[in-house]
Amino acid sequence: MSDLGFVSLLPTLLVFILALITRRPIESLISGAIAGLIIIHGVKFVGGFAETSLRVMTDKDVAWVILVCGFMGSLIGLLIRTGATSAFTEKISRYVKSAKGVLMASWVLGIIMFVDDYLNSLAVGSAMRNLTDTYRISREKLAYVVDSTAAPISVIIPFSTWSVFFSGLIVANGIAPEGEGLSTYIAAVPYMLYAWVAVLLVPVVISGAIPALGSMKTAEHRAQTTGQTVPPDAMHIEDANKSIEPKPGVTPRISMFVVPMLVLISATLYFDKDFLIGIYVTLAGTATVILMTRILDMNDTFDTIIDGFKTMIEPLAVLVAAFILKDVNDSLGLANYVVESMQPVLTPELLPAIIFVSMGLVSFMTGSNWGVFVIILPIVTTLANNLGADMTLVIGATLSASTFGSHACFYSDATVLTAQATGCTPMQHALTQIPYALIAAFISVLGYLVLGYVW
């Protein structure tokens, strides 16, 4: 159904309208998906919804996300229950003595957790939220700092799950020969402008050189004047995060936080950057150590693993709804329509900037950071070859667009998981973060225009 034209945009536009009105992502996403299915199937849309939802739930990539996020929740639950998270927070509190210092520590910790954006969002958010509460920093501000070193840092450090995925796409699309996908990816890293700007903008915002803007200003005023760091509409998320408490009488050990994080990073890198295997190894190892040292008994250990998985149910529901909408948008041909709409104004000089804008729009509208580019990258490659554009610059622009979508969309995986870990809703996080994402996007567009005409 790739000839629907503007009609292909309507379901996603409905999602944004409903989200702004209701501030509830799941209902908005499902409504948009159903609207798209009505366009595709007419009165038989109920059967179409059943078929689509079943296809999504049996997709291996969706299953990977559910397992990764769920068991990451289990691991964090163990770290909280054993007192490891509080020990880590207490250790950091000895070295930071101001609100700016705490936020800078969060930024640095996010850079260290470069191997995967899920690890980054969930680990840093859960580790730092209590400490930022001490300095009356809004959870929205913490979410911005965490999210800006999640996908962006995983993109520009080429030893991450992102580099594995996109290196494979580069080879699959004939951009690089077999075995040279990673080297081509690394060559494009300097041109991933949005990722660089988003990461480097954080300390500028923390310093106050760029003040709190829009909804972020309101959130910071609430936290600083009333001490209410958790947004009023996010108490159910805070309650879920606090459903697991440190066991009374357990001596907190910082090693129980640091060692599992190091094992998780090392195991992920060792097993060909497969984050799921890394989590399995780390969770099994952590549970074994806890049982052998009798920090928790067997019942408490496995109850915590289950309870930790449960804390991720709501964000996983949002992500599954987003995957359903993406599947519908693929059938409607939304991505192709956006690309084709941009083609009349393409020149070799404008191509990087137009790719960033158009692909960023597609990624933002679909909430898909990886899947949409399986469809789009062959088109982008053909355009670049036809126009004789520099391929590394084009790859950099494409990855920048993906990073923007991950960073800015209120139902992207990074946004949803960061919101859960830091204790705010996806809409609250997205609305407070969007001014800074747009600043980074504007700077990136200017950069691509300069590179397009100078390079």
The pTM assigned to this predicted structure is 0.86
Q: How far apart are CA 21 and CA 266, in angstroms?
A: 44
Q: For residue 347, with 0-12 CB atoms within 10 Å meaning exposed, 13-18 middle and 19 or more buried, which class applies?
A: exposed
Supply 115's token pair. Answer: 């191997």
Helix (H, G, I), strand (E, B) or coil at 257: helix
Helix ranges restricted to H, 230-272 = 235-241, 255-270
Question: Which pLDDT score, from 0 to 100, does residue 1 have?
Answer: 53
Q: Which residue has the tokens 């126009």?
A: 387
Supply 441's token pair. Answer: 């996007």
**From first to last of its 455 residues, what are the pLDDT tens digits of the chain?**
556 788 888 998 898 898 888 878 889 889 999 999 999 999 999 999 999 999 999 988 889 889 988 998 999 999 999 999 889 888 888 889 899 999 999 999 999 888 888 888 888 888 899 899 999 999 999 999 999 998 899 889 887 777 877 888 788 778 888 778 888 889 999 999 999 999 999 999 999 999 999 999 999 999 999 999 999 889 989 888 888 899 998 888 899 999 999 999 899 888 888 889 999 999 999 999 999 999 999 999 999 999 999 988 888 888 888 889 888 988 888 877 877 777 777 787 888 998 898 888 888 887 766 666 666 777 777 777 777 788 889 889 988 988 898 888 888 888 898 999 999 999 999 999 999 999 999 999 999 999 988 76
Question: Which pLDDT score, from 0 to 100, does residue 375 have?
Answer: 67
Beta-carbon contacts of residue 226 (< 8 Å; ≥ 6 apart):
none
Beta-carbon contacts of residue 17 (< 8 Å; ≥ 6 apart):
none
Q: Which residue has the tokens 């709804």?
A: 321
Q: For residue 302, with 0-12 CB atoms within 10 Å meaning exposed, 13-18 middle and 19 or more buried, which class applies?
A: middle
Number of other CB atoms surrounding residue 385 within 10 Å:
13
CB-CB contact of 448 with 349 (8 Å): no
CB-CB contact of 33 with 325 (8 Å): yes
Q: What is the pLDDT of residues 207-224, one digit of tens each?
A: 999 999 999 999 999 999
DSSP string, 342-407: HGGG--TTTHHHHHHHHHHHHHHHH--SSHHHHHHHHHHHHHHHHHT--HHHHHHHHHHHHHHHHH
Q: How far apart are CA 154 and CA 147, in angstroms?
A: 11
Q: Which residue has the tokens 């309870």?
A: 307
The one-letter amino acid code at 337 reads: Y
The angle subtended at Cα 213 by Cα 210 and Cα 219, nearest 5°, is 120
